[in-house]
Structure 1
């Protein structure tokens, strides 16, 4: 069986116009996949040079396959049908190592056609390293590498205003474009680079903040033999992802035309404020996950898919989303409903086995950031605590008993919470404290919740009632009235 390469598998080849920091699965099944669609269906005509930003030789370079690889996009489509779509990606031309090919890296700045910079260097990538120097070959941090590359471009083109770049980071931090821009300017000042260069960075370059959303499951290790037999070639860089994707870019309106989004309507939104979209994702997608986990797990289920196939648990989650989360969010109702419908479809994806216990990691913090804002907003608006989000809090407290049907399971959270719950549940079991006292102890922790939740009218009382129901009747009977 032949390995992918451009000689044996000839096809389109595009001029290099995009630099991409990061060679990982996510960018390849998200950004490069979208660029490939745009190249095929519009006149974008943009090839990608992947820059490996870290000093490693694993995985091997994409250049071993001439930049070619296959994405397999699978999940439930808009009609609810299971689909699996293989696509040979031709948008990537080559990969270079900034550590092994530093001169080649700097030379990217000399190409007058270069226009876009994408990146995913992990959440820790957009950070400041005080030891980074201009003459390092290369500097260690991504922002320092980018600063050096921008200075190379500025110098080569004598500060030409039309040679700036559109810089679109995909790292999972808030306002990633603004954070990256601030660090580039910080390095420019630290390195005493010319004021004219700093002015050029600010005037000729566009830094965009983004929200990226797609579950990328990467190399399908257990299915490779069968998939390669279907494809008819060997591909060491096979990349799998879910059907759903969303790319929200906070940037100027002209960006849609420059990316040719006016010619091919991908699920890419160019917006002037990313905040409501971030809140929507955290509240609906992440919030539904967090509400679902302790309820479904204690109802005897193990994966998100099993939970969504369970009429009772699915009913609980859908009502929590539509009746208690969406009404307190600040976006058009139709947008929120379509996003929520997509979330439910994603949870049902038969190709992804999402273990509930893996999502349960750091559940206390997740509840505070993902559900509590909607719970409090709902209470404020109606004068009553929202029943399902409140029940989810009771289920979370019950989850930290660490035992299901007589079998213990691992709890992963801050040591402070694990110790505290162990003590509280021991005291509760020994009849030293009542359920309400246990609940009050958890809710009164203002250091964690950023307020004393026992002061929220009706909350502690309802959580204690729900928790008593879970303990006395079991999860199925306790949750039934809310489904």
Structure 2
């Protein structure tokens, strides 16, 4: 089978159920740092929807931001790849296939830095997009302007913006829109702050710093789409049906959300909303982030330690099981949603229904064990605020969120630390619980005291009193220590499955 390319697409009959983007490339208006699955299945696809609707005529230059990556593979297919969007729509299984065609070329920042700089100096460039992982937006004091390239993404960006500033002699209309997609809060504001700090550290001209502030727009964003990546087990069959070889196949769910905290004038330049995409432009994204973190992420973090110890392995199994599925739905509708101060109940109900729909997606095999990673910090950020707000609002504890906390604490009692991980057993099967090492060491030490005879009530008090883990002493929450210790006593006597079965009865 011939490999996917522009010339091939002009020769073959593409299946009727496959959408194909424009084959003729427009001007290179987007510089994208990150060539991985997420950006190709999210940002690349979104810009293609604008192109298909006649609202955008540009193309994307992709930059491989680290030494090893996929730039060669992308160039080998002339920037083309097939995106599979799969999931449930109104209870029906849906699969959409689209050949994304808007990448003009891929550059390796480490072997082609001069070419990356040339793109930054281009008259046509308007946007810089990034997804360099959460650890990518950090200040590296070792970076220097003379490095080709600097190591960190913010330093690369600072160097490129300075080159552009020099090229156009500080012209006010030559600033860019910088759109980070890294999964950290206030990603745009954080990136802007680091870029300004680097400009100061490098003793760049004051006029450049003024141009950075006034001519460029850094927006903060919230992104949401589950991207499962290359469908290895199905790839051969899919390519056979498509009629070509595609080594860059990428699979994702149907759902997408992009919340962009930026000026309304930018919404007119990028009219995603006009063509029906789930894009929200806002002056303040905090309520949208809180909704996502508490409902989507919070439901995950609530259900996973319970369902994994119940004996299940994937999110789909969790939702299909009548006991655990009911537990998750009740946690969402009876405890998480009521705890929110958000007054838009219709929006909250719609989001909750969408979350449950996404959890039920049969195409996504999301393993509970992978979500169990770093659970203490996840519980603190995603679930604890709902627990505390519910208690404050109703003067009683949300029983399911408390049970989830008890099940999470129980995991730390199931094994010992080996090579920085907690090696545990579920039934007769071993699994590794990964978390912050200091948290693992603290919690396992407390549970060792239980093995030596310390009563569970005192064990619970020590676990909940770990301010360094929870950010506060949870023993001060009315009746929480008593409720958690009661659950832990039952779990140790009967097991998570029996306790949950009794709860649901």
| TM-score interval, normalised by the smaller of the two chains | over 0.9
Alignment of 1:85-124 (within 5 A): 85-124=96-135
TM-score (norm 1): 0.94
Q: 1:20 touches 1:51 (CA, 8 Å); kept in 2?
A: yes
Cα distance per residue 1:417-464 (max 9 Å; x no partner): 44454455455456x233322212211222222222122111111112
Q: How far apart are the structure 2 equivalents of 1:470 and 1:140?
A: 49
Q: How far apart are the structure 2 equivalents of 1:421 and 1:152?
A: 51
Q: CA deviation at 1:58?
A: 4.8
TM-score (norm 2): 0.90
Q: Does the alignment pair 1:50 with 2:62?
A: yes
Q: 2:439 touches 2:469 (CA, 8 Å); kept in 1?
A: no
Root-mean-square deviation (CA, aligned residues, Å) is 1.9
Structure 1: 5+ residue stretches without partners: none
Q: How far apart are the structure 2 equivalents of 1:193 and 1:130?
A: 15
Structure 2: 5+ residue stretches without partners: 11-22, 415-424
Aligned twin of 1:275: 286
Cα distance per residue 1:292-321 (max 9 Å; x no partner): 112112222111110100111111111111
Aligned twin of 1:369: 381
Which range is displaced more, 161-170 or 146-155? 146-155
Alignment of 1:23-42 (within 5 A): 23-42=35-54
Q: 1:276 touches 1:330 (CA, 8 Å); kept in 2?
A: no
Q: 1:181 to 1:426 in 2, by over 3 A?
A: closer
Aligned twin of 1:411: 433
Q: 1:15 to 1:414 in 2, by over 3 A?
A: closer
Q: CA deviation at 1:185?
A: 1.5
Aligned twin of 1:333: 345
Cα distance per residue 1:343-389 (max 9 Å; x no partner): 11111111122221221122222222211111111111111111111
Instruction: Please give the secondary structure, in 1, of the residue aligned with 2:267.
Output: helix
Instruction: Please give the secondary structure, in 1, of the residue aligned with 2:235.
Output: helix
Aligned twin of 2:417: none
Q: 1:42 touches 1:260 (CA, 8 Å); kept in 2?
A: no
Q: 1:113 to 1:330 in 2, by over 3 A?
A: farther
Aligned twin of 2:233: 222
Q: 1:442 to 1:6 in 2, by over 3 A?
A: same
Instruction: Please give the secondary structure, in 2, of the residue aligned with 1:7.
Output: helix
Name which of 75, 93, 110 aligns with 2:87. 75
Which range is displaced more, 164-173 or 322-331? 322-331
Name which of 139, 156, 162 aligns with 2:173. 162
Q: 1:5 touches 1:68 (CA, 8 Å); kept in 2?
A: yes
Aligned twin of 2:320: 309
Q: 1:30 touches 1:214 (CA, 8 Å); kept in 2?
A: yes
Aligned twin of 1:6: 6
Q: How far apart are the structure 2 equivalents of 1:442 and 1:164?
A: 51
Q: Does the alignment pair 1:394 with 2:402?
A: no
Instruction: Please give the secondary structure, in 2, of the residue aligned with 1:127.
Output: coil
Aligned twin of 2:420: none
Q: 1:42 touches 1:263 (CA, 8 Å); kept in 2?
A: no
Cα distance per residue 1:186-229 (max 9 Å; x no partner): 22222222222221111111100111111111111221110100
